[in-house]
Structure 1
Amino acid sequence: MLDALRRFFELVLEYFVILLMVVLTTIVIVAVVYRLLGSSLAWYDEVAAILLAWITYYGSALAALRRRHIGFDTVLLAIPMPARMVAVAVAEAVTAAFFILLAWAGWTVMMILGGMSLVSLTWMPVSVTQSVIPIGAILFLICQALSLPGYWVTTARGVSLEHAEIEEEVETEMKKAGNA
């Protein structure tokens, strides 16, 4: 059940982040073409900045689900057991506390800016664009929780997620070089 939920979140976040990237790329290309033609889009800068923020928040939730944020596996794995697992628990608790605070602050910002709209697109409420803060924080918490069991077991075994990925890439490249 947990694995199916994890795969669901991964699939939804992957496609949503890809969609956001395609939309941002399209908007940038259209804006460049307009400028080359001697005109410019008044809303481009504001919308592009918002899309970039959305990609960052939703992409960070996806990275949390895959445990691909910058970490210190080598340092963590150098800590002897059971202190290593205490360190993992403390790190997870601090991270969760930060994102709970971020979700609360984001919700507060949304409520304060509730009646405002974007400068260039007056029909778009700022609260919609700023909704990424609490939603992204909650998604990060969910993704962190969904990936924690696997991370806990891997860390307890003394296996580095970073080193395993590097070794896998090296092996892939070696196979490619052997076939060339």
Structure 2
Amino acid sequence: MHASTGTETKFAGSSCNDLVTSDGAGSTIISGHFDKRIRFWDIRTEMSANDIMLQGKVTSLDLSRDNNYLLACVRDDTIQLIDLRMNTIVRSFSHESFKVGCDWSRAAFGPGGRLLSVGAADGAAYVWNTHSGRLETILKDHTSAVTAVSWHPQSGLLASVDRGKRAVIWGDL
């Protein structure tokens, strides 16, 4: 049994759909909300440190391995890349056929952070290059909205799952 170091409660201010911790000490928490905000919390203080307003509900967050970048999947059918060193959006990813499939759609960085993937309402997984902003590929093998994607941590293997409970493993990307 571990000794408790204490519990602290924060008032989120809006329905929170996802959160990540952005530093090794765990003193900064980033939360994505249905009120279109990403909030930054310093656990040593009472209030949110600051926030970023987006154009739609935030459905998921993913942190790059170096803790410098944050992906936000947004219900305005975009994926926003945020540089956490400046707390600014540095790139927006979208495509005419890409539509976020649900309020809990997950976007994820690939290993090394060069690629990102997200599922879509049309049953496809979209893969973008984070450096160029270019859409690399559209992987279509689902018959219902893709709700989550996950990359193997050391390879280019990508898994996706849809609302119909079907999972697909995609080869090295």
TM range (shorter): under 0.3
Q: TM-score, normalised by structure 2?
A: 0.24
Q: TM-score, normalised by structure 1?
A: 0.23
Q: Which has the larger radius of gyration?
A: 1
- Return the structure number with greater helix share: 1
